[in-house]
Amino acid sequence: MKQLADWFGMAWMALALGLATIPLAAAGTPLEAFRGATGTIDIAGGTAHIPVMNEAAKQIMTAYPKVRITVAGGGSGVGVEKVAAGLVAIGNTGRPLSKQEAERHGLISFPFAIDGVAVIIHPKNPVSDLSAEQIRKIFAGQTTNWKAVGGQDAPINLYTRDEASGTRAVLWKKLLKKGLIAEHADVVTSNGAMKVAAAQDPNAIGYAGIGHIDSTVKAPLLDGIAPTQENAAAGHYPIVRKLYMNTKGEPSPLVRAFIDYILGPAGAKIIKSKGYIPLVAG
């Protein structure tokens, strides 16, 4: 008994002095790659990525506090600019890099998820189904009243993203067929800001990544097809894009560990929980 008491006494003293620690990640788990790691990973860019990046950062930093991960938005254009300038380790984009971007800056892409992009309106708007042609006319500024598409007699308030947005790029290319977006459209800065705008304006129409859609907004059917990730994964819903992490040259060991975590089974679970489709099964 005395030996056992002495052992507990020494263990308590070691913990009190900071000489012993209890690892929070068991050996063999996906977090094992961060054991003993220190340093900072700065991430910025596409706002659709933020929920996934934040959750992964939380899990990693909880287990290994000496690893610091910061996550910021700004849009896909900001992601490219910052990673190209060496201001962040990972620049996220909701679109593939152009050949010029990749070659000029030596950028490497790591696709990790599929996300659909959907038109969103106020949840009390009675419109429940829009055709692709109706949406194109609305965004071009040709249709300006909800009554013309089965809604109430009220003006359509149009919201869009800036031209560096990956979300805008996929909508413009795949749904609007590279058509006009009216100049009077209000420009918002992120998927989150777009959702807030649609939730607060009864006459709003905008668009966001499907992973951002919740009960605060309404995503009408597109030509009779519900804009869900299940339909996107099955190929029924056509307005889809990949989400990318991009690095300048080969990533450092710490950054590579983060990318591998996102691309692995633990990352797949996070991606699914945030409403996206992982490219690697979890």
Query: What are the residue ranges of CATH 3.40.190.10 in the chain?
Result: 39-114+242-278, 116-240
Q: What angle do CA 94, 43, 51 make, to 5 degrees?
A: 60
Given this model, what pLDDT does residue 30 score?
A: 83
* pLDDT band per the 50, 70, 90 thresholds, residue 76: very high
pLDDT value at 97 more than 80: yes
Q: What is the CA radius of gyration of the chain?
A: 23
Q: Is the pLDDT of residue 148 over 50?
A: yes
Residue 54 parent element (H or E):
helix 50-63
Assess contact for 79 and 154: CB atoms under 8 A: no
pLDDT band for position 233 (50/70/90)? confident
Residue 80's pLDDT is 97
What global pTM score does this model have? 0.80
Instruction: Answer whether residue 10 shows pLDDT above 90.
Output: no
Q: Please choose, from the candidates 198, 217, 223, the residue with its C-alpha nearest in 3D space to the C-alpha of residue 130.
A: 223
Q: Is 174 exposed, middle or buried (0-12, 13-18, 19+ CB in 10 A)?
A: middle
Q: Closest Cα partner for 202 from 265, 271, 262, 146?
A: 146
The answer to whether 252 touches 268, Cβ cutoff 8 Å, is no
Averaged over 234-247, what is the pLDDT? 95
CB half-sphere exposure, 195, CA atoms < 13 A: 19
Q: Which CATH superfamily is 39-114+242-278 part of?
A: Periplasmic binding protein-like II (3.40.190.10)
pLDDT of residue 281: 58
The mean pLDDT value for 170-196 works out to 96
- The set of residues, in sequence order, having a beta carbon less than 8 Å from that of 44 and lying 6+ positions away, is 71, 72, 73, 74, 78, 79, 82, 83, 87, 88, 90, 91, 92
Structure-token pair, residue 262: 């996102």
Q: Which residue has the higher pLDDT, 16 or 122?
A: 122
Q: How many residues in total does the chain contain?
A: 282
Q: Does residue 243 contact residue 114 with C-beta atoms inside 8 Å? A: yes
CA-nearest of 212, 244, 241 to 90 is 244
173 within 8 A of 98, measured Cβ to Cβ: no
pLDDT of 95: 93
pLDDT score of 188 more than 60: yes
**What percentage of the chain reaches a pLDDT higher than 90?**
84
**Taking all residues of the chain, what is their mean pLDDT, rounded to a whole number?**
90
Q: What is the mean pLDDT of residues 123-142?
A: 98
Measuring CA to CA, which residue among 189, 153, 169, 158 is closest to residue 75?
189
Taking 80 as the threshold, does the pLDDT of residue 14 lie above it?
no
Q: What type of residue sits at position 79?
A: G
Q: Greater confidence, 25 or 86?
A: 86
Phi and psi based region of residue 216 (left: phi greater than 0; alpha: psi -120 to 50; beta: remaining):
alpha
| Domain 116-240 class in CATH | alpha beta
**What pairing do the DSSP bridges indicate for beta strands 277-278 and 240-248?**
unpaired
Residue 280 pLDDT level (bands cut at 50, 70, 90): confident
